[in-house]
Structure 1
Amino acid sequence: MQKGICLASRRCGRVPVLAVLLIAMAFAIGALFFLGSGAAGNQAVYIEDGYNAYVDKDFDNSYKNFLKARNGFSPWLSFYNLFSENILSKEEVDEMIFSLCVSAAYEDFFNLEQSKWVSVAEKEMQRFSTLKDSEKTKEYTQIYNTLVGVAELCELYDKEEYEEAFKKLLPLEKEALASDQDFFVFEIRFMIASARAMKEPLILKRARELLFMMTNQVGEDNEKTMALWSLMRSGSK
């Protein structure tokens, strides 16, 4: 009988221990979920602020916010992501930052200026070397290489080496992705400037033809096509 009492006592002793463990686990999970929810909320704010700054062409502020969003990744955010479908992955945030750098660079290139964003894009490119999607890595590499080529054209133009710069434009066009609209906007912009700098009406005519084609594709109310048409009509470089 005494043996039975001892056995029952041991079993009863295990129940509180198990209960404590379950409560501790529930508390830990709740804490992780709470921390993850807060981190996700902060990240969403950074991304929204970054996007709004991007729309306003405040690229420096946009970049800072996107970096905050990237730096906000943590174990508890990863845990929270298991229960949410609306959270961006770290790879997706990396892609956003790289795209921002490219857009910011082309904004400077549209004014035929050099851009600090090329070197920033180069730094961001290093992150894509670990991507499992080799096709995506290849695509971003091609976009970056085109960006570097455009920077070289702007440098030659600034040195007034117009003919040399224009010779490099066609090979660069062949290397660019067919979907790289930023480049093709720049190409028309560069053709307008080169045609007037070299006094070559045939180049200007070709630029107008390409602009007609682009306008038909993206619409007349597109910001860049409107700016290109304004340049075309103004007679300025």
Structure 2
Amino acid sequence: MSPVADLAQGQTGTFKLGTVTGLGARLDRILDAYERRLPGIRIELISLPVKERLAQLAEGRLDAAFVRAAAPDDSPGLRFIPLWDEELVIALPARHPLAERDALSLADLAGLPLRLTGRRDNPALVDAVATACQEAGFQPVSAPAADTLHDTLAAVGSGAPTWTVVYEANAEMTRVPRVVFRRLADRALTLPTSLTVRSAQPLPRVLLAACREPDSPA
């Protein structure tokens, strides 16, 4: 029995929600809005690579999941509900001459190695950045990425100059003195985010409403 049905009978329950990195304060706003509507339901956040996230959702081990740059044709039995576009910003060393600019062209970064997570962990992000660089006329040279965003940013801020991309929501909450964040002036580098559920299950309307509240800006 779903948590929402349990609540209708005066009970409490747990809603298992697969999540993604980089939601920042948006996730807090969504959780607050959900709790106001259904205070008897506890959301359990579960972080998994996208393939495992979708597999657990299809198996019924998750009730819903956030997914970026979804490919519905590759996931029969799942329904993808568009929510918002997530903007990416550039992180580069604060001491680099490019840091003096308010915004950058992607081609400005062609001479700097790129620190990016492995494609297995975030295929949508890696593919989006690779495509954007190709359209800007270059193929980035790879530099090692650390296991965490904080460690990757620490590496960007020290040693030979490198760069990476960060979800804007994360950048707004991150302070690394040796790193600056800059938007791209010549293109919008974004990833669409969807709420994904099993096609056969009722829509989680309360969660959708929480995601679409004005205080949870797209």
Fold match (TM-score > 0.5): no
> Would you tell me which structure has more strand in proportion to its own residues?
2
> Would you tell me which structure has more helix in proportion to its own residues?
1
Q: TM-score range by the shorter chain?
A: under 0.3
Scaled by the length of structure 2, what TM-score is found?
0.24
- Please say which structure displays the higher CA radius of gyration: 1
Scaled by the length of structure 1, what TM-score is found?
0.23
